[in-house]
Amino acid sequence: MNGPVRDFWLQFRRNRLGMVGLALVLLLAAVALLAPVLAPVDPFRTSRQALLPPMSPGFLLGSDHLGRDVLSGVIWGSRVSLLVGLAAAATATFIGIVVGAVSGFFGGWVDELVMRVSELFQIIPRFVLALIVVSFFGSGLSNLILVIGILSWPQTARIVRSQFLRHRALPYVDSARVLGMKPLRIMFAEILPNVLAPVIVVASLDIAQAILMEASLGFFGLGDPNLRSWGGMLNTAQGFVQRAWWMSVFPGIGISLAVLGFNLLGDGINEATDPRLREG
């Protein structure tokens, strides 16, 4: 473990809530990766044992109205949530870095144009727009990832822009210009590595938001019908809330823990990388 990584870890592990978030994220990742081993049965397998309560023989968390095992659904649903969260956040981060870097480095009319577009994305209700887009183009997993990612980049772009505006006037950037480096190389090889810390924090928070948005879309019946997801389980549980509380409670707990984990992790990373927060 090299110096910067070791220093970061020493600072991060002092944050107890950050460590709780890391533990929750690692637990989610382990459950998602080991889903074929951990799930008792196929999550889509139906049976005549419908609406069995938790702790019933063969159904630790109960069964739904089609006799499907709730535990298996929750375990496999973690895969969908983690995949959508990571992929959508990666998409948003990539777009945000490129847009923010161009805006902050070149400034002028380019900056003005990019910021106006960013503000347009921010004033439009993301969830409503996602509902419309997914309704028109389909609810496949790739569509969900693209829609959520494309709607989530403005915050990253604004942070990257502000960092580039500050760094472009520093001596090391002037030296790079004097040496004849091209703008793209200065932007992504010289400046970007120095501004990644806040981007990583935003990315971790974007993962939580993407998980929540995917679950919300699934709740409205716009999730991928070929996959068992937490949002989809909540959708099927709507008509059975009073008769079978477990159909909605356990997927809801999964969503809550996943979102909480990534939010706490993001806060911990933020505190570990920002000396001002540590001093406070």
Beta bridge pairs of residue 56: 59
What is the distance of C-alpha 156 from the center of its chain? 13
Tell me which H or E stretch contains 210.
Answer: helix 196-219
- Beta-strand ranges (E) seen in the chain are none
- Report if residue 219 sits inside a domain: yes
b/e for 143-167, b at 16 or more Cβ within 10 A?
bbbbbbbbbbbbbbbbbbbebbeeb
C-alpha–C-alpha distance, residues 102 and 157, integer Å? 9
C-alpha–C-alpha distance, residues 68 and 214, integer Å? 22
Q: For residue 184, give the CATH number of its domain.
A: 1.10.3720.10
- Report if residue 110 sits inside a domain: yes
Per-residue pLDDT of the chain (280 residues; tens, 9 = 90+): 566 788 888 889 999 999 999 999 999 999 999 999 999 999 999 999 999 999 999 999 999 999 999 999 999 999 999 999 999 999 999 999 999 999 999 988 999 998 899 988 888 888 888 888 888 888 888 999 999 999 999 999 999 999 999 998 899 999 999 999 999 999 999 999 989 889 999 999 999 999 999 999 999 988 888 899 999 999 999 989 999 999 999 999 999 999 999 999 999 999 888 766 555 4
C-alpha–C-alpha distance, residues 101 and 109, integer Å? 14
- The structure tokens 């459950």 sit at 31
- Token code pair at residue 103: 């805006």
- Report if residue 29 sits inside a domain: no
- The structure tokens 């939010």 sit at 263
Domain boundaries, position 230: 34-260
The reported pLDDT for the residue numbered 134 is: 86
What is the distance of C-alpha 231 from the center of its chain? 15
Total structural domains in the chain? 1
- Tell me the Ramachandran region of residue 194: left when phi exceeds 0, alpha when psi lies from -120 to 50, beta otherwise: alpha
What is the distance of C-alpha 140 from the center of its chain? 18
Closest CA to 194 of 176, 180, 216, 212: 176
- Token code pair at residue 45: 């397998």
C-alpha–C-alpha distance, residues 249 and 64, integer Å? 12
- Report if residue 271 sits inside a domain: no
- Report if residue 24 sits inside a domain: no
Q: What is the dihedral angle through the alpha carbons of 81, 87, 92, 93, rounded to the nearest 10 degrees?
A: 120
- Report if residue 275 sits inside a domain: no
Closest CA to 71 of 57, 83, 54, 85: 54
DSSP for 66-89, please give it. Answer: T--BHHHHHHHHHHHHHHHHHHHH
Closest CA to 256 of 18, 21, 16: 21
Sign of torsion, CA 220 222 228 230? negative
DSSP for 145-184, please give it. Answer: HHHHHHTS-HHHHHHHHHHHHHHTTSHHHHHHHHTT--HH
- Tell me the Ramachandran region of residue 46: left when phi exceeds 0, alpha when psi lies from -120 to 50, beta otherwise: beta
Q: Which tens digits make up the pLDDT trace of 147-194?
A: 999 999 999 999 999 999 999 889 999 999 999 999 999 999 999 998
C-alpha–C-alpha distance, residues 161 and 158, integer Å? 5
- Report if residue 217 sits inside a domain: yes
Q: Which tens digits make up the pLDDT trace of 221-238?
A: 888 888 999 999 999 999
- Report if residue 268 sits inside a domain: no
